[in-house]
Structure formats: structure tokens, C-alpha cells
């Protein structure tokens, strides 16, 4: 377990799945948690879970990550409420899947707005605070398909590939102020989305993975906790693959 006492973390998309696991892991280390999620009811429930896990403070913030002004206001409110912001995890994301020639304009825009522009908005707003503090750690949740592509996921792949490139650029810009920026690229993770697949499809998917199993949200949370901890103080601009070996 890592020591995050005295630190505040904002985790987007934190009410369930990977985001929730990440927020809980940080809470266990004593971090105060600011949660964002589109589901207000689930977000409120997650606040109590964070406190039970060890977070001295936890609060839910409802805002649209794709709206720059909303992100600016949220970062300002979080900084005021908690006295600072040391950790940002950009996990919020959506996927709209279809073959290229059938892809709808609105689905392309929605996916890029949330997955890529949302992370840009929050890094820009939080970056100002972290640069003044001369301390901070950002982790962007990318995806294996952002590196290897995947048929039927043009927008999702593009958004995650763009997020990887954005991570590397921002890491170079903020390094002189002791702000580290990294990305994690999960493979196929055991979440409600994959749980809804037919058993035969899940079996076939597992067989394609060298470690022969889907990942878990905790697998991702463990890596994120390390990346934002002092143990990774010399790591920035990296993309950590957590995919069971499906892409090397």
C-alpha cells in the first residue's frame, strides 16, 4: 500500500469499474478523493465507499468533462474544497462502435469529445494548479486499441491513440515543474461490458491473451497507484501496457 496522506486525487468516471477501483486504491492509501461521474446516484454511493476505504474526505462533483468551462470550474472548486490537487486520473470514457463506412458523425464527435478533449480540458485546468505547486501526477487511461487498432472501433481507437500522444507532449511540457504525466493502456478487462458477452465469446477472447484471462479493474488500479506514488518519481511520459500480453 502507498502513502497518499495529505494528497487529493480527482478521478473521473469513478462510480464503477476501473475508475472506482482506482479511486478506492488511492483512498486506501489515505488520499482525499474528488469523484466525477455522469451517474449522480452512483457517484454519491461511491463517496461513502471511499470514506469507508480510508479517504479522510470524499466529495462528488458532477460536470461534463467535454466542456472546458465546466472543467475549469470543477478544478477551482476542488482546489478550494480540499486545499489543493496533487493527483488527476482521466478515466471517463465512452465507446461508440461501428464500421467506418457506417459511422455516425455524432458518435465520432461524442467519443473524441469525452475521451480526448475531456482529458485535455482537465489536464490544462489542473496543470495550472500543479505547476504552481511544483508537484503533481497525472495518469490518463488509454487502451490497447489506441496502439494496435481494432476493427469497428475507429473513434475509440483514434481517441485513445490521441490520448497517448497527448500524454507524451504534456509530460514534456510539465516536467520542469515536477509534474509527471503518464498513461496506462489496459487490454480487455473484466467489466460489465465484457461480462455481457456470450460465454463462447469470452472464452475465445481469453484464448487470444497469452496470460489466458481477462484483466481486472484491480490490475489497473494497482499500476495507477504506483504511477502516482513517490515510488515512480522518475517516471513520466510512459505508456504502461496492462494487457496480459495480447499486444507487446
Burial of 217-240, coded b for 16+ CB within 10 Å and e otherwise, reads bebbbbbbbbbbbeebeeebbbbb
In the set 2, 60, 61, 156, the catalytic residue is: 156
Q: Rounded CA gap, 242 and 82, in Å?
A: 31
Return all residues near 103 (Cβ < 8 A) that are at least 6 apart: 154, 155
Distances (CA, A) of 9 to 186, 189, 231, 240: 20, 23, 17, 20
Q: Rounded CA gap, 91 and 82, in Å?
A: 21
Q: Is 60 a catalytic residue?
A: no
- Enumerate the active-site residues: 156
Amino acid at each position: 500500500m502507498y502513502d497518499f496522506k495529505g494528497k487529493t486525487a480527482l478521478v473521473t468516471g469513478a462510480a464503477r469499474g476501473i475508475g472506482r477501483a482506482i479511486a478506492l486504491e488511492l483512498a486506501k492509501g489515505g488520499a482525499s478523493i474528488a469523484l466525477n461521474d455522469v451517474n449522480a446516484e452512483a457517484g454519491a454511493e461511491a463517496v461513502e465507499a471511499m470514506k469507508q476505504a480510508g479517504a479522510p474526505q470524499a466529495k462528488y462533483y458532477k460536470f461534463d468533462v467535454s466542456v472546458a468551462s465546466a472543467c475549469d470550474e470543477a478544478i477551482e472548486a476542488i482546489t478550494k474544497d480540499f486545499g489543493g490537487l496533487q493527483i488527476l486520473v482521466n478515466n471517463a470514457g465512452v465507446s461508440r462502435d461501428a464500421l467506418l463506412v457506417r459511422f455516425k458523425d455524432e458518435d465520432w464527435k461524442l467519443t473524441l469529445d469525452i475521451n480526448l478533449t475531456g482529458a485535455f480540458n482537465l489536464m490544462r485546468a489542473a496543470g495550472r494548479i500543479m505547476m504552481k505547486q511544483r508537484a503533481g501526477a497525472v495518469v490518463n487511461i488509454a487502451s490497447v486499441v489506441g496502439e494496435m487498432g481494432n476493427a469497428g472501433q475507429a473513434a475509440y481507437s483514434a481517441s485513445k491513440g490521441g490520448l497517448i500522444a497527448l500524454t507524451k507532449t504534456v509530460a514534456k511540457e510539465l516536467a520542469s515543474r515536477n509534474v509527471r504525466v503518464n498513461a496506462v493502456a489496459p487490454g480487455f478487462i473484466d467489466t460489465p461490458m465484457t461480462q455481457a458477452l456470450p460465454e463462447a465469446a469470452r472464452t475465445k477472447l481469453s484464448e487470444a491473451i497469452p496470460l489466458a484471462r481477462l484483466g481486472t479493474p484491480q490490475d489497473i488500479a494497482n499500476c495507477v497507484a504506483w504511477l502516482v506514488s513517490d515510488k515512480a518519481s522518475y517516471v513520466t511520459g510512459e505508456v504502461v501496457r496492462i494487457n496480459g500480453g495480447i499486444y507487446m
